[in-house]
Every structure is written in C-alpha cells, then in structure tokens.
Amino acid sequence: MRERPVATVPKPALLLLLFALGLQIAWHSSQPPRLAKAEDLPQPPSLSALRIASFGEPIALAKALMLYVQAFDKQPGISIPFRNLDYVRVQEWLARILELDPPGQYPLLVASNIYGEVSDEPRQRQMLDFVYQKFLDDPNRRWPWLAHAAVIAKHRLKDLTLARKYARAIRLYATGSEVPLWAKQMEIFILEDMDELESAKVLIGGLLESGKITDPHEIRFLEGRLKEMETKAQAR
C-alpha cells in the first residue's frame, strides 16, 4: 500500500489533527507530576513453600532472598530510608531466611550492622533484641553479632544495662573453644563502666577458679585486671 504525501491531506483534517495534538500536549503539561509511592515489604512465604521453591538449594535461595530484602529500600523513583521500613516485616524476612539456612550469618550481620544502626532508637532496640533472640538458638556461631549489639547498646544507646545483658549472654552461652576470650570478657569491661567493680572482681575470680581458662597469657591478663580493680577500689 502506497503512502500518501502530507500535501494531499485536506487542510481542515490537518488543522483538526494539529488542534487535537495541541490539546493533548496541553492536558499532559497541566497534570501534576506523578509521585513514586513506596510499597510495603510483603509478608514472607512459609518455610515449607520456600523449601519447595528452592528445588533442593536452600542456601542459594536464602542468598537470593537476602538480596531481595536489602534492595527493598530502592524502589522505582524512590529511595526509602531504613528507619521508615516496617521493622516487624523486616524481622519476619530475616527470621525466615535463617530458618531456610540456619548456618547462614548474613541475616544477623545485616540486622546488627545495618538495620541496628539506624538513627531511630525504638527500631534499634527492636533489631538488637532480634539479634539477641536468634543468638540463643546458636550461641557459638552467632556470638559476633550479639557482641556488636552490645557495642551499639553501650556507645549508641548509652544503655549499659542492656549492653551487660548481651555480654552476659555471650559469657554464659557462647562457651565453645572458638569463641575468643575478649568476647567472653566483655561483661567485665561493661561492669567497670557501670562502676560495678566488686561484681567485676567476682566475675574475674570465678573465671580464674573455674579451670576453664588454661592459656597462661589469658590467666596473666585476668590476674592483672583483677589487681588493677583492687587498686582502683582501694584508692576510693
């Protein structure tokens, strides 16, 4: 089919077309700009559904889900601050991912190092408590994230009582040989900051008498700390 040149189009029809085009342009320019709307993170699927969807590769699916959750603050046309996310829903996703891949560490790393450091105290406390609860399920593997939570509680929240709670949990439950001494001793330093020197001395004495510490360097370090505390207490 041959195309007709524009010159053959009747002038009234051409004018009508140009008029309609002008109206359409004017209408679009008069409309307010579309604002991108943030979407809420949906509820995570059940664990059984995720296991079926993983096709026998739960670790791979867990990693993919972490990417999905972390990317949710970046939506088309909008960037959502972490403090504006629904933390209850974020926790549900992180918990589900841990259920899918229990040895996985990344959900707790993100919880303590990213979501736990937002400039919103209620959300910080909510996420740190999540880390604490999940630590109890696997203390010898998950202690690093509770140690970080203790640091946040001490330095960011200025809540030494909460920091001691987390440090005490590490001392009591993270008893594996792979847990470093500094992590098991966090409670001692926090007690010092709380001016609880007698409690710190009792704790050090208990560690030395328990027989659990066999490294000579660690024993000398604790004995040195104990002498420092006794000197500090006598100086008062």
For residue 183, give both structure tokens: 């992590």
What pLDDT score was predicted for residue 153? 94
Q: In CATH, what number is assigned to the domain containing residue 157? A: 1.25.40
Whether residues 176 and 206 fall in one domain: no
Residue 42's closest CA among 104, 88, 107?
A: 88
Whether residues 62 and 104 fall in one domain: yes
What pLDDT score was predicted for residue 36? 36
Q: 13-22, 109-118, 120-129, 184-193 — which one is most confidently predicted on average?
A: 120-129
Whether residues 106 and 66 fall in one domain: yes
Range list of H helices, 31-86: 47-53, 58-70
The H or E element containing residue 75 is strand 74-75
Contacting residues for 100 by C-beta, under 8 A, at least 6 apart: 47, 50, 51, 54, 58, 61, 62, 65
Q: pLDDT band for 15, please (50, 70, 90 cuts).
A: low
What pLDDT score was predicted for residue 146? 95
| pLDDT > 70: percent of the chain | 74
Q: How far apart are CA 32 and CA 2, in angstroms?
A: 42
What pLDDT score was predicted for residue 77? 41
Our CA dihedral for 96, 102, 106, 111, rounded to 10 degrees, sits at: 50
Whether residues 138 and 222 fall in one domain: no
Q: Which of 153, 181, 209 is the last residue of a domain?
A: 181
Mean pLDDT (the chain, rounded)? 80
Q: pLDDT band for 35, please (50, 70, 90 cuts).
A: very low
- Full domain range(s) for residue 66: 40-181
Contacting residues for 174 by C-beta, under 8 A, at least 6 apart: 139, 140, 143, 146, 183, 184
Whether residues 131 and 60 fall in one domain: yes
Structural domain count, the chain? 2
Q: pLDDT band for 79, please (50, 70, 90 cuts).
A: very low
5-9, 44-48, 116-120, 163-167: least confident range: 5-9
Whether residues 103 and 54 fall in one domain: yes
Is 168 within the bounds of a domain? yes
Is 122 within the bounds of a domain? yes
Is 22 within the bounds of a domain? no
What pLDDT score was predicted for residue 221? 73
> Is the pLDDT reported for residue 80 higher than 60?
no
Is 95 within the bounds of a domain? yes
45-54, 87-96, 170-179, 217-226: least confident range: 217-226
Whether residues 136 and 57 fall in one domain: yes
